Amino acid sequence: MNHAFSRSIRWLLVILFVATGGCLLFQGCSSQKPTEPLSTTVITGTGSITIDQSSGSRDDYTFSSAGRNYGKIDLVTYDGTNGTFEAYGIVQSSATVAPESFPGTSAAVSLGYSYIIKTDTAPHYGRVTVTAVSVNSAAHTITVQFDWVVQTEAGNRSLQ
């Protein structure tokens, strides 16, 4: 009786082993299910920069999440009616991958346009898309609103 019971246990273990192996073969070895989205190191948000010329011609916006900063973008105005973005690198583009090099460190702000930026020296990369520009001549202010995407992993140029 003990020998038959022992043989049954061995067969049960073999069946479990084969079933588990088959399951892993068809499901893959990852713990991530095919219907789950891929994990990402990209954060998104909306931002706004307002310059009040009575207190200066420059202001900045810092990209942050969960208490960590991932660089910034500056807004500068020289005449109170036009804005210029400044960053460690900037190029007008709506691409999903930051370029290896940037042609400059400033670009004129235009409604509806997107800009790929190098936000700091780590380097972190991002994209801002201008959603509104408001100039109030009487109050001497200019406000730029934008949507943003920033890569939190230093050196990773992917923005998706």
- The answer to whether the CB of 117 falls within 8 A of the CB of 107 is no
Residue closest to 150 by CA, chosen among 130, 123, 113, 131: 123
The neighbouring-strand residues paired with 94 are: none
Q: Give me the residue spans of the domains in the chain.
A: 42-151
User: Stretch 89-95: mean pLDDT, rounded?
Assistant: 97
| C-alpha span between 125 and 106 (Å, rounded) | 15
What amino acid is encoded at 67 in this protein? G
More confidently predicted of 143 and 80: 143
More confidently predicted of 115 and 22: 115
More confidently predicted of 158 and 33: 158
pLDDT at residue 140 greater than cutoff 80? yes
- The answer to whether the CB of 144 falls within 8 A of the CB of 130 is yes
* pLDDT one-digit tens code per residue, 5-43: 566 666 555 565 555 555 444 444 444 445 555 568 999
| C-alpha span between 39 and 145 (Å, rounded) | 28
- The answer to whether the CB of 140 falls within 8 A of the CB of 52 is yes
3-state secondary structure of 79: coil
| C-alpha span between 87 and 137 (Å, rounded) | 26
